[in-house]
């Protein structure tokens, strides 16, 4: 039984490797995202600070003319999700690099290290009721 499971696992693993190889052959780099707080904004770059269990990490991204910048608004829109279920998501509007401010929470998408493809400014999260009261 164990050898059957091992064989099945190897078969699945071998099927997954060629799919990844095909994606790399087409020349499309994998898009990655990072979420953090803006610590510094200059005309052509953005420094993002991520805080976690392993401490604080700072990353700088170049902002170019091709970088798409979006800002979440306070309004919600209803979109259809999987199975036809409706869910609320924040509306977004286009923005410029000048709209980026220190201490904003943002999500940066990038394919090439250090070069932002898109920046999404997240709306502030409302304070939880009774937070800090214990």
Annotated domain spans of the chain: 1-27, 32-121
* pTM for this predicted structure: 0.71
- The pLDDT of residue 6 is 43
Per-residue DSSP letters for 77-116? EEEE-GGG-EEEEEEEEE--GGG--TT-EEEEEESBTTB-
- The pLDDT of residue 127 is 72
Sites in the chain below the pLDDT cut of 50: 1-13, 16-23
- The pLDDT of residue 131 is 64
- The pLDDT of residue 108 is 96
- The pLDDT of residue 33 is 95
């Amino acid at each position: 039984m164990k050898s059957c499971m091992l064989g099945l696992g190897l078969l699945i693993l071998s099927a997954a490797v060629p799919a990844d190889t095909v994606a790399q052959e087409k020349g499309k780099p994998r898009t990655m995202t990072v979420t953090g707080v803006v610590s510094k904004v200059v005309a052509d770059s953005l420094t993002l600070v991520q805080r976690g269990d392993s401490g604080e990490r700072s990353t700088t991204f170049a902002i170019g003319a091709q970088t798409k910048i979006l800002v979440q608004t306070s309004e919600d829109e209803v979109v259809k999700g999987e199975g036809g279920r409706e869910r609320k998501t924040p509306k977004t509007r286009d923005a410029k690099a000048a709209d980026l401010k220190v201490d904003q929470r943002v999500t940066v998408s990038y394919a090439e290290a250090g070069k932002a493809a898109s920046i999404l400014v997240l709306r502030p999260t409302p304070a939880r009721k009774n937070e800090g009261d214990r």
